[in-house]
Structure 1
C-alpha cells in the first residue's frame, strides 16, 4: 500500500465500505498480518490515466488457502493429478495463486473501485491484460500462478466483471445469513415480526445472560480506548487458542485500526462482577453493520448470541442501517432472524482442462447451494403476515 497514493485511493474508495479503506489494508501490511512470510504477498492493481488514479483492486499472491472463506483446498489437491499441458508432468503445485480479496474478511462488497467517469470495459480490459501477464510469467524459482480468484464481490460487481472480462469466468456461490432491517422502530418491533414461540425464546436467551450476572455495553468510535482494545484482543486470542491455532491478526493491527479508522468501529464489551470477560468487534459501513471478531474468557450460556447478534441488531436499528452481516457459517442464525443470502466468487484457471473439470463441479455445487438456500428460507421464524 505504501507504493500507492493514499489520498487518491481514498478519493476513489470513500468510507462506505470499511474493508477497502486505505487504513485497513495498510494496517494489515504494516503489522505483519499479510506478507510473504504469512503467505499473503501484497500485489495490488492500480489503473492510471496519465497521472490520475482511475481504478484500484486489492490483490495478493497467495501461497495457501487459509483465511479466505471460499475454500479451494480440494481444488489444490485435484490440481496435482492434472498433468502439465506442456510437459505432461503431474504433481504440480496449485500455489501460488493470484487472489483479489480482503484478507480474513468474508464480507461481500465492492472489490474493484473505479472513478465515476471511467469506462468499465476499458478498465477491466486493462486489468485482464495485466493479470494475464502475471499468470504467464514464471519466476526465477520456477513458480507460476495457477489462476486468478475474485472473492466476495457484491452482486452488481459480479455481473459487471463477468460481463466485461474478455474470457469466461467460473462462478461459485455460497450461502451466508444476514439480518435485514424491515424499518423496525426498535428491537421489540423486530421481535413482533416473529412467531410467538421464537419471540419468547429470544427473550429467554437475553434473560439468561442477565441472570448469570453479565452486563453488556456498546462503545463506538472515540469512546473505544486503547485499553479496551487490548482487553478485546485477549478475548479474540482465546477463540483461536481453544482450537489449538494462532490468531490471524495481531494486537498491533487492532490498535492501529483504532488510531487510524476508529470512526468505523463499534465494540461490545461484557462484564461479570466488574471484570471484563468477553467482547465483540464490529465495523460500521454506510448501510451495513459487519460483525467480525469475538472472544470470551468464560463459558456463559447465550453470551455469544447476545454479544454478536442481539447487540448488533439493536445497534443497526438505532443507527438506521439496512443490513447486518454477522460473519460466515451458522445455521443457528436462522431461528434468530438472519436470512439466507447468496455470496459470489469468480475464478479464472490457467489450465483449460482443469478449468473445465472445476466448471463441471461448480454447476452441481451452485444447484446444491440454491436448494440449501431455499430450504433455509422455509425455516425463518417470522409470521406470515409480518411486514416485509
Structure 2
C-alpha cells in the first residue's frame, strides 16, 4: 500500500533529495525538496490555485521511504506545458468528467528530469501502479507524468500507460573555451547574425549583469518580479508565481540560482531567471519593461551560453517551444510524458492520436536538425 502526503513539508528533505537527486545523477535543482517547498509555502502550487498536493509515497517494511512521485490533484490544465486541453474538451463534450486529474510534474516548469523518485525500475513500476490506485481513490479521470526521463518513459510506458513526445531546444557545450569559440562552430551567416544581435544590444546602451549566490538581493527580486508580472500578464493572463516564491528560492537556493539582469540608463529593464544544475543551466522565466531589438536573445540565450561555458556546464535547456532558438545554436531535443486514462474509450482514442503524433514529432525533429546552424564539412 502507498501513502499520500498533503504537503512536501510532510516528507523529510533528506528522504526526498536522496531519491530525487541520487549521487549517480547530476544535480537537478528543480526536483529538489527546496524548490517544491518554495512552490507550496509561497501559495503558488496549492489547492486554492488548482494544484492540490498528493505526493505518492512508498515505504519498505522498516518504514523507510523507497519511492516518491511528486503529484497534484488538479482542477485545470494550466502551467503544465504538455497540452491536453483537446482531450479534456472532447471528453466533456461526450458527457465525461475530465477534472480532477492527477498530475506528476514540477509545477510551472517544463524541465526534463526524474519524476518517479526511486532507486530502480522495479520501484518505479510500483510507483506507477500506486499512481493508478490513487487516481481511482480520488475518482480522477487520469494520471499524467510529464517531462520524465527517457529511461523512466521506457521502463514504465506500455500497458495502461500511453507514451507521448514533444520537442524542446537545448544548447550543447562541445568543450568551448569562450563564446567566440562557440561562434566558430557555426556557419558564417549564423555567426554574423549573432554578432550583429549582440552588438545591437550594446549600441542601445544596454548592459548585462549576471548575479548568483549571495550577490542576489531583494532589490533584484523586486525588479525581476515586476518584469515577470508585466510579461506574464500579457502572455498568459495570470502569472503563476507570486513574489514570495522568489524570496524563498533566494533564501534557500541562491547558490543554484542565476539572474541575468539588463540595465539601461541606470535602471533595470529586463531579466531572465535560470537554475544551475550539476551539468546544465535551466532557463526558466523572462520578463521586460522595455522592448528593444535582440534584448530577449541576449538576456535569455547568449548570456546563458556564456555562463555555461564559464562554468563548464554540458548544456543549456531553454524551456518549451521556440523554433527561433535553432538559429542561435539550440538544437531540437525530444521530451517524454506518460498518460493513464481511466475511461477505456478515451484511452483508445488518445492512443491512436498519440501514435500519429509521435511520428509527427520524429519528422519534425529530423526536419529541424536538417537546418542546424552549425558548419557543414564544406564550410570549413
Whether the TM-score (by the shorter chain) exceeds 0.5 is yes
Partner of 2:292: 300
Tell me if the contact between 2:125 and 2:156 (Cα under 8 Å) persists in the aligned partners. Answer: no
Residues in 1 aligned to 2:19 and 2:72: alpha-carbon distance in whole angstroms: 20
Partner of 2:72: 60
47-56 vs 16-25, which deviates more?
Answer: 47-56
Partner of 1:88: none
Q: CA deviation at 1:244?
A: 6.7
Query: Are 2:193 and 1:201 aligned?
Result: yes
Q: CA deviation at 1:125?
A: 4.5
Q: Secondary structure at the match of 2:10?
A: coil
Runs of 4+ displaced beyond 6 Å: none
Q: CA deviation at 1:11?
A: 2.8
Partner of 2:126: 126
Residues in 2 aligned to 1:319 and 1:298: alpha-carbon distance in whole angstroms: 30
Describe how 1:178-327 pairs up with structure 2 within 5 A. Answer: 178-243=170-235, 245-327=237-319
Q: CA deviation at 1:127?
A: 2.3
Residues in 2 aligned to 1:385 and 1:185: alpha-carbon distance in whole angstroms: 22
Is there any run of 5+ residues in structure 2 with no aligned partner, and where?
Answer: 1-7
Partner of 1:344: 336
Query: Are 2:15 and 1:8 aligned?
Result: yes
Would you say how many aligned residue pairs link Structure 1 and Structure 2?
367
Do the aligned partners of residues 205 and 44 (structure 1) sit closer, same or farther apart at CA in structure 2, a change above 3 Å counting?
same
Q: CA deviation at 1:230?
A: 1.5
Give the TM-score of the pair, scaled to structure 2.
0.93
Alignment counterpart, residue 140 of structure 2, candidates 126, 131, 145: 145
Describe how 1:25-174 pairs up with structure 2 within 5 A. Answer: 25-49=36-60, 50-82=62-94, 91-115=95-119, 119-121=120-122, 123-137=123-137, 144-162=139-157, 167-174=159-166
Q: CA deviation at 1:192?
A: 0.2
Tell me if the contact between 2:68 and 2:127 (Cα under 8 Å) persists in the aligned partners. Answer: no
Residues in 2 aligned to 1:369 and 1:134: alpha-carbon distance in whole angstroms: 31
CA-to-partner distance for each residue in 1:131-171, whole Å, 9 max, x for gaps? Answer: 23323236xxxxx20011110011122122227xxx34111
